[in-house]
Chains A and B, each alone.
Chain A
Amino acid sequence: MTALLELRGVGARYGPIQALHGVSLEVAEGEIVAVLGANGAGKTTTLRSVSGTVRRSGDVRFAGKPLRGGPDGAARRGIAHVPDGRGTFAELTVWENLRLGAYTRRGAMRDDFARMQRYFPWIEERRTQQAGTLSGGEQQMLALARAFMQRPRLLLLDEPSLGLAPLLVTEIFRIIRELNEHEGLTVLVVEQNAHIALQLAAHAYVLEVGRVALSGPSEELRRHESIRRSYLGY
Chain B
Amino acid sequence: MLGFTRKTKVSTGASLPVLLGLVAACIFLAVGSLLSDIFAQQTVAGLAQGAIFGSLALALVLIYRATEVINFAQGELAMATTYIAYQLTLWGLTYWLAFFLTLVISFVLGVVVYGLLIRPVQHRSVIALVIITVGLFILIDGLVTWKWGADIKFMAAPFGNEVYHAGGVSFARQDIGVLVVSILSVIALWLLFQFTKLGLAMRAAALRPAAASLVGVRVDWMLAIGWGLAAVLGAVAGLMTEPSQFLTPTMMQAILLYAFAAAVLGGLESPAGAVVGGLAIGVFLNLVGQYVGFASSELRLPIAFAVLLVVLLLKPTGLFGRRQVRRV
> Is the CB–CB distance between B214 and A83 below 8 Å?
yes
Identify B216's interface contact among A53, A87, A150, CB under 8 A: A150
Contacts of B207 in A (CB 8 A): 89, 91-92
> A70-B213, A71-B213, A72-B216 in contact; A91/B324 too (CB < 8 A)?
yes
Contact present for B3 and A89 (CB under 8 Å) = no
Whether A103 and B201, one on each chain, are in contact in the complex, defined by CB atoms closer than 8 angstroms, is: yes
Asked if A129 and B328 make an inter-chain contact with CB atoms under 8 angstroms apart, the answer reads no
Q: A72-B217, A137-B2, A137-B3 are in contact. Are A100 and B200 (CB under 8 A)?
A: yes
Shortest beta-carbon distance from A126 to chain B in Å: 8
Size category of the binding interface on chain B = 20 to 34
Q: Does A204 interact with chain B (Cβ within 8 Å)? A: no
A134 CB-CB contact with B under 8 Å = yes
Q: Which residue of A lies closest to B9 (CB)?
A: A133
The answer to whether A215 has its CB under 8 Å from any CB of chain B is: no
The docked-state distance in angstroms from the alpha carbon of A51 to that of B211 is: 12
Given contacts A132-B325, A133-B326, A171-B1, contact A51 B214 (CB under 8 A): yes
B306 at the interface (CB under 8 A from A): no
Identify A150's interface contact among B9, B215, B322, CB under 8 A. B215
- A167 adjacent to chain B (CB < 8 Å): yes
Q: Is the CB of B327 within 8 A of A135?
A: yes
Q: Of B9, B214, B322, which contacts A87 at CB under 8 A?
A: B214
- Which residues from B are CB-within-8-Å of A132? 324-327
Q: Is B125 part of the contact surface with A, judged by Cβ < 8 Å?
A: no
By the criterion CB–CB under 8 Å, are B210 and A88 in contact? no
Given that A89-B207, A132-B325, A136-B327 are known contacts, is A100 also in contact with B201, CB under 8 Å in the complex? Answer: yes
Q: B218 contacts the other chain (Cβ, under 8 Å)?
A: yes
Given contacts A92-B204, A167-B2, contact A130 B215 (CB under 8 A): no
Q: Contacts A99-B197, A122-B1, A128-B10 given: A88-B215 contact, CB under 8 Å?
A: no
The answer to whether the Cβ of B4 comes within 8 Å of any Cβ in the partner chain is: yes
State the CA gap A128–B1 with chains docked (Å): 20
> CB-CB contacts of A39-68 with B at 8 A, as 1s and 0s?
000000000000101000000000000000
Task: Using A83-B211, A91-B207 as known contacts, say yes or no to A134 and B10 having CB atoms under 8 A apart.
Answer: no
Residue in A76, A122, A135, A165 with the greatest tally of chain B CB atoms within 10 Å: A135
Interface residues of B in 1-45 (CB under 8 A from A): 1-4, 6, 8-11
Docked Cα-Cα span, A167 to B326, in Å, equals: 23
Contacts of B204-236 to chain A: CB distance below 8 A: 204, 207-208, 210-219
**Cα separation A76 to B215 with both chains bound (whole Å):** 8
The answer to whether A138 has its CB under 8 Å from any CB of chain B is: yes
Residues of B within 8 A of A135 (CB): 3-4, 6, 327
Q: Are A92 and B203 in contact (CB under 8 A)?
A: yes
- Please determine whether B216 and A75 come into contact, CB atoms closer than 8 angstroms: yes
Q: Is A153's CB within 8 Å of the partner chain B? A: no
Q: Check A88/B11 contact, CB under 8 A, given A122-B1, A133-B326, A171-B1.
A: no
Cα distance A100–B213 in the bound complex, in angstroms: 10
Q: Is A100 a contact of B215 with CB atoms below 8 Å?
A: yes
Whether A81 is near chain B, meaning CB under 8 Å from some CB there, is yes
Contact of B2 among A70, A89, A168 (CB under 8 A): A168
CA A168 – CA B3 in complex, angstroms? 10
- Neighbouring A residues of B212 by C-beta, 8 Å: 89, 100
Cα(A130)–Cα(B10), bound, Å = 6
A80 CA to B216 CA in the complex, in Å?
A: 9
A146 touches B328 (CB 8 A): no
| Pick from A99, A133, A136, A138: contact of B200, CB under 8 Å | A99
Which A residue sits closest to B11, measured CB to CB? A130
Flag if A101 contacts B4 (CB, 8 Å): no
Query: Could you name 8 residue pairs across A and B whose Cβ atoms are closer than 8 Å?
Result: A53-B214, A80-B214, A83-B211, A90-B326, A92-B207, A103-B215, A132-B326, A171-B1
New A-B contacts (20) at CB < 8 Å, excluding given A87-B211, A133-B327 = A71-B213, A72-B216, A72-B217, A81-B214, A89-B212, A91-B324, A92-B207, A96-B200, A100-B215, A101-B215, A103-B197, A103-B216, A122-B1, A130-B11, A132-B326, A133-B8, A134-B8, A135-B327, A136-B327, A150-B216
List the 9 closest A-B pairs by CB distance, nearest first: A75-B216, A104-B216, A87-B211, A132-B326, A133-B8, A71-B213, A72-B213, A122-B4, A130-B10
Q: Which residue numbers of B lie inside 8 Å of A, CB to CB? A: 1-4, 6, 8-11, 197, 200-201, 203-204, 207-208, 210-219, 322, 324-328
